[in-house]
Every structure is written in structure tokens, then in C-alpha cells.
Structure 1
Amino acid sequence: MPRVSFAPPSQCLTFLPLLHRLLPSLPPTVRDVDVPLLFRERFILSGYRQAGLPWRCYVLSLFQIHNETLNVWSHLLAAVCVVMRFMMFAGILGFRLQGPEGQGLSVDASSLPLVLYVFSAFTYLSCSAAAHLLQSHSEQSHYSLFLLDYVGVAVYQYGCALALSLYSSSAAWTQSMLGQVFLPAAAFLAWFSCTACCYAKLRFRRPYPLRRKLCQVLPMGVAYVLDISPVAHRLSTCSWTSSSALPLHFLQVVLFLLSAFFFSCPIPERFSPGSFDIVGHGHQLFHVLLSLCTLAQQEALFQDFLWRRPALVREFGEQRLLLACVSFPCLTLCCAMTAFAMRRQAQVQLKKEQR
């Protein structure tokens, strides 16, 4: 009877060292006392990645279990879902790019705010995932990436404001005084939220005082109250059976308020430090709830877009719609310049501390 050999073929023996070099084993995670103070989180005692490793280690830590794994994957998967759902929606509507053969995605004045909204959602989710994945490389990288994260949040705030004011508002709200000043006010508050978060990041040191959290939460809270006002007006004045989007809007408001609670309070890890290091701490719950909020909001906006698109140009005028959309890159540029200036300040600050 012939013997069966289970020895790997010689080609495998030469391929395995190459694979090992391409995908090196990552250093194990460490405890909070083994990383600089800047990287430590209250009540999170373990699961930290070492600082100062090569960049590839942090990129590959996407597939490692550590205390940022869920933060990264929740927003990374949500970003993919946002883009895939929009592609499905665009295909159903038959958007076409006016190329040589007339195929692809076509954007007109009525659909451009929706495209900008999807771009803003993808931007904030991607920036957040990148910040949490790569921030442990160095203190300079930590500051740079989270300043970029704040830019993404501000861009998303204004993308929401733009889309909600055009697609999800009622005629009474649009004609009100708030409706008339809404977009300029939303743009200012988005920039101010970005600036306040950047300032708080550079100004305060761990253990963070309460006023750092207030610097972050209060401007974003005021911006959210303004941005959600078109939806709040519709929810309070219209029958929820009149539109399939209204229950989705209510869901996204509830999810956002829950996410804001977990962002503001280190719960449940406060009550059992070390027990929720890898799964279940408050910032992870914030990420998951905010991702679900974004997906619910996107779906509601798709429904509102189908409802409002036929009359949108007639109601607002094509020139006014295009002008509103031009404000989006202007706001993005202002936030990026603010973050860049803050980054230079962080570099100066770190050099002083290292002397």
C-alpha cells in the first residue's frame, strides 16, 4: 500500500518566508503604563499598541485585536456601506456621466447636495477610522490625525445641514427666519466646532479636565440643534404616516442622542476599569451608534430626495442651489486651514516639551 506524505511541497517552503516578511507578526499589546500619557484613555488599562513602531505595523494592526479595533472597523465598514448604498441608489435612478458614450453618473443642481452629503459622510468615517488606526505611531501623528478627524466631523456637519435643509425641510420651515439664515449659521458653527475641538486637543493635558469635554461637546451640540431643526420641525408638525422618511429621521435622532451620551460619559468602563478594554467601552459604543445613525440618516435622505427632487429647482432656483453647494468646499477649505495651523502649533509645542 503506498504511503501518503503530508509534507508541504518545496514551493510552499520558499513562499512561507516571503509571506512572513510581507506580513510580519505584530508586537503584543501592552498596558497603559507602557505607553506615553497622551495615548492613555481613562479606565482603559490594557490593549494598547506600542508607540514608535514602523507605519506598516499600525496599518496591519487593522487585523489585530486591541482596544481600538472596534473603533476602526465600525467606521470603516460604515464608510463602505455608505458608498455601496449610494451606488445602488444611483443605479436605480439611472444617473449617467455625460461622457463619449453617455454612461456613468450625472449630477445636476438638484442631486449635487446629495452627492456632497455622501462625500461628507464618507470623509468623516474614513478620517475617524484612519485616526484610530494610526494615531499610536507618535505624538505628532496622534495630533495630526485627530485634527484631521475634527475636519472630517465639521465637513459632515455641514454636509448634513446642506442636505437636510434642501431635502428634508417643510415649506413653512424654509420660509421662516431660521430657514433664511440656516446655511450661513450652519457653516459658521461647523467651522467653530472644528476650531474648538482642535483647541481643546492642544490646550489640555491628561488627565483631561471637564472643561476640555465642554469645549468639544457644547459647540457640536449647538451645531446639531441647528442642523437637525428642519427634521425636528417636520417631526413635530407632520403626520409620520405621510412619509416613509419620518420614522427613519426619528431613528437617526435617537441614535445620535445615544451616541452623544456615550461620547460624553466613559460608561460602562468607569464602573469596572479594565473589564471593557477590548469590547464594550463607551467610545466604541459611540462609534457603533453614530455609524448606525449615519446609515439611517442616509436612507431617510434618499427617501426625501425622491420626494423633493421634482420641484427642488423650481422652489429654490438652480443658481441658489449651486451657490449653496459652492459653500461646501469653502467650508472644507477653512476647516483644513484651521487644522493645519493648529498642527503647526502642536509641532512647536512638542519641540518645547522635548527640550
Structure 2
Amino acid sequence: MPRVSLAPPSLCLTFLPLLDRLLPSLPTTVRDVDVPPLFRERFILSGYRAVGQSWRCYVLSLFQIHNETLNVWSHLLAAVCVVLRFMAFTGPEGQGFSLDVSSLPLVLYVFSAVTYLSCSAAAHLLQSHSEPAHYSLFFLDYVGVAVYQYGCALALCLYSSDTAWMQSMLGQVFLPAAGLLAWLSCATCCYAKLRYRRPYPLHRKLCQVVPMGVAYLLDISPVAHRLTTCSWSSNAALPLHFLQVVLFLLSAFFFSCPVPELFSPGSFDVVGHSHQLFHVLLSFCTLAQQEALFQDFLWRRPALIREFGEQRLLLACASFPCLTLCCTITALAMRRRARDQLMKEQR
């Protein structure tokens, strides 16, 4: 005779019908041969979302397992961590933070970090909708990256540099050069995205990596100078800066090289492919950099206005929205070119 269990149903069984109603079943993922070449990644054979579904399907795919899931969640969670840590730093239990000219670059840095993380998450979540959406969203992603580059440059120049570096020739031209390279990174990434088709040639990757690499070498120069000339034990920010440099270099490696999926195509489609590792490492890099900048802010803030002058600080901060506007205009122009190109191909 079968035994009758009087135990209450599990929470999982109780909420499954509710989840089914709230999150209706989504189309199953497909293989690379089932999506247009534009949406394929080298050595990633499965886990793609079908193209041409409703926007609602792609929004809800945030809770679906596919080959972009970790790309989206890694940057979404990092954005939340950036905001929460900033709120803790500026809150009642923080360091007496107040919004004025000397703290404005730090606010712009946090804004730039949240911008690039959010734009990246949105691009990877929604890009499978259509070819026009794919181009538009990744152009938005490149704007976010450029904004973050300049946000970093601004904060590192004002908070993480020492007097010797500021008085050098590099220190004198740093911000204009950083702004130009940030815009160039955005423009070349947009151009490479639109110009080259799969299978991508090597110079497509070089077109993306070289301007961003040069921009990073410039942006990190105030930190590199301190790391090589100052005692690490005298400043709590320097080990954090070293950590963020290491994490960035590792992330750059995985961005440039399709490892480990190169050695076993199809084995790392959903978890562990190079772009996911790039996202995770870059997220930790951003968190380490933010923590280092908090330390540098406390170190430099008392003398910041005296050394730079209030007008110079305001001018430096005003260059941030100007750079953002230039990158946005560039992305919109490239979006129009992409739309025209797709219309010609459809004729």
C-alpha cells in the first residue's frame, strides 16, 4: 500500500505556477548556424537567442540561460556594487563627503562607471533583436566605454597624481590628450563594427584594441608614476591601484584572445568563454579602481582647490559632458550609416 506524505509542498513547487505566469516560456536557444553571421562569435556553437523576437522576449531573457547571460549579469551586478559602495562612502557613516568642486570629479567617475556597465549590459541583453538594434546597441556600448575612459582619466589626474607628474610635460597635456583618445576609441570601435564582416580580419581587432590600449597607457600614467616612485606602505591606495592594473591586463588578454573556447569549441558556450572572463575581470578591476580612488580622494581633497584652482577644476569637469556629447554624435552618425548600409543590402 503506498504511503501518503503529509509534508507541505516545497516552496519551489508552490511558486513554480506563479513564475510560469510571471515569466512565460521563452523561445529555446539555437545553434550558431540558426542565426545570421553578424550575431555569431568564433568557437561559440550554441546558446544563441533567435533573431527577430519581440523586445519583451529579450528583456525577459535576463532570467534565461544563454551564451550572453553571464555577460549581462556580471556588469549589472558590478553597477549595483559601484552605486552601493559610493552611497556607503558618502553616507552618514562615510568620510564626511559633501558635493562641491573638489568632489565633482569623483561623482563624474562613478557616473561614468555606472554608464559603461549599464550600456554594456543593455547591449548584450538586447542585441539579438535585429541587425539595426545590434549595431545601435553596440555603438551605445562604445560610447559608454569612451565615457568611462575619460571619467577615469579625469579622476586619476586630479586625485591619483603627485606634484612631480603634474608638472611634467605629460601632466600638462594629459586631459586634452585623454579626451581625444577616448573619442578616437569610440570612433574606431564604431567604424570597425560597421566596416568588417565575419570572418573578421586581424586588423579589425587591431582597430579596436590599439586606440583603447594607447588611451589606457596614457590614463594610467599618473598611477604608474606613483607605483614606481612611492613607497606602497605609505599609502593604502597603491596596492589597490596595482591590483586594478593586473586585473585590467588580464581582462585585455581575454578580450583580445578567444581563450579557452579556441581549444575546445562548443565546451564554453554558456559558461567560461573569453568575453565572459573579460567582463568578470573588468568588473573587479572597476571595483578595485573605485576603492583606490576613494582613498586618493581623501588624500588629495584638502589641497585640491589650492593646487589646481576652482576655475581649472570646473573647466576640467565641464570637458566631461563635452566628450560625452562628441561620442554620442559620432555613434548616432555611425548608426545612420549602418541603417543606410542595411537598406542597400536589402534591395
Aligned to 2:214: 222
Distance 1:263 1:305 in 2: 30
* Aligned match of 2:105: 113
Could you tell me which residue of structure 1 aligns to residue 245 of structure 2?
Answer: 253
2:115 maps to amino acid: T
Give the share of equivalent positions with the same residue, in percent: 84
- Structure 1, unpaired ranges of 5+: 96-105
- Tell whether 2:90 aligns with 1:90: yes
Question: Aligned AA for 1:173?
Answer: W
Name the residue aligned to 1:352: 344
Give the ranges of 4+ consecutive aligned residues of structure 1 lying more than 3 Å apart after TM superposition.
3-8, 15-22
TM superposition shift of 1:7: 11
Taking the aligned partners of 1:289 and 1:84, their CA distance within structure 2 comes to 19
After superposition, the C-alpha distances for 1:218-244 in whole angstroms (9 at most, x for unaligned) are: 000000000000000000100111100
Evaluate the alpha carbon distance shift between residue 55 and residue 6 of structure 1 in structure 2; reply closer, same or farther with a 3 A threshold. Answer: farther
Are residue 143 (structure 1) and residue 143 (structure 2) matched?
A: no
Distance 2:83 2:21 in 1: 33
- Report the equivalent of 2:30: 30
Per-residue deviation at 1:136?
0.4
Report the equivalent of 1:182. Answer: 174
1:56-78 deviations in whole A, cap 9, x for unaligned?
A: 11111111110000100100000
Q: Could you say which residue in structure 2 is the equivalent of 1:99?
A: none
Provide closer, same or farther for how the CA distance between residues 16 and 266 of structure 1 changes in structure 2, counting only shifts above 3 A.
Answer: closer
Cα shift readout 1:105-142 (whole Å, capped 9, x = no counterpart): x4101000000000000000000000000000001100
Aligned to 1:71: 71
C-alpha distance in structure 2 between counterparts of 1:38 and 1:187, whole Å: 31
- Partner amino acid, structure 2, of 1:66: H
Question: Alignment partner of 1:275: what SS?
Answer: coil
CA distance in 2, matches of 1:6, 1:202: 60
Q: By how many angstroms is 1:4 displaced? A: 10
> Kindly tell me: are residues 138 and 313 of structure 1, through their superposed partners in 2, closer, same or farther at Cα, counting changes over 3 Å?
same
Q: Verify: 1:173 aligned to 2:165, yes or no.
A: yes
Alignment partners' CA distance in 2, 1:196 and 1:213: 10
1:310 to 2:312 alignment? no
Closer/same/farther in 2, CA of residues 319 and 7 from structure 1, 3 Å limit: closer
SS of the residue 2:262 aligns to: helix
Q: 1:237 aligns with which of 208, 218, 229?
A: 229
Distance 1:325 1:238 in 2: 28
Using the alignment, how far apart are the partners of 1:56 and 1:7 within structure 2? 35
Count of aligned pairs = 339
What CA distance in whole angstroms lies between the structure 1 residues aligned with 2:180 and 2:16?
A: 55
Q: How far 1:24 sits from its partner (Å)?
A: 1.4
User: Within 5 A, what are the aligned runs for 1:50-65?
Assistant: 50-65=50-65
TM-score (norm 1): 0.92
- Deviation, 1:354, is 1.0
The letter of the residue matching 1:301 is L
State which of 286, 306, 314 in structure 2 corresponds to 1:322: 314
2:41 aligned with 1:49, yes or no?
no
- Find the aligned partners of 1:197 and 1:42 in 2 and give their Cα distance: 18
Q: CA deviation at 1:93?
A: 2.7
CA displacement at 1:22 relative to structure 2:
4.2
